[in-house]
Amino acid sequence: MPQLHVTDRRDLLACRRCDAEFPEGRATKDGWTYECPECGNAAGLGDGLRRV
């Protein structure tokens, strides 16, 4: 049986508009939709937010 690798490091996201960096958990409330918690203008992974 394969082992799952558990890590305590959180994924970081960066806003493409205001360049703010923040943990992924701050950018989503439901786990499906993402929005920049700093400026509120950038939404969606890939379009408005990117992984660091």
- In the prediction, which pLDDT does 31 show? 85
- pLDDT tens for 1-50 read 565 545 445 689 999 999 999 999 999 989 889 999 999 888 898 889 99
- In the prediction, which pLDDT does 26 show? 93
Is-above-0.75 flag for pTM? no
**Can you name the residues that pair with 50 across neighbouring β-strands?**
14
- In the prediction, which pLDDT does 47 show? 87
- In the prediction, which pLDDT does 8 show? 46
Alpha-carbon span 36 to 2, nearest angstrom: 35
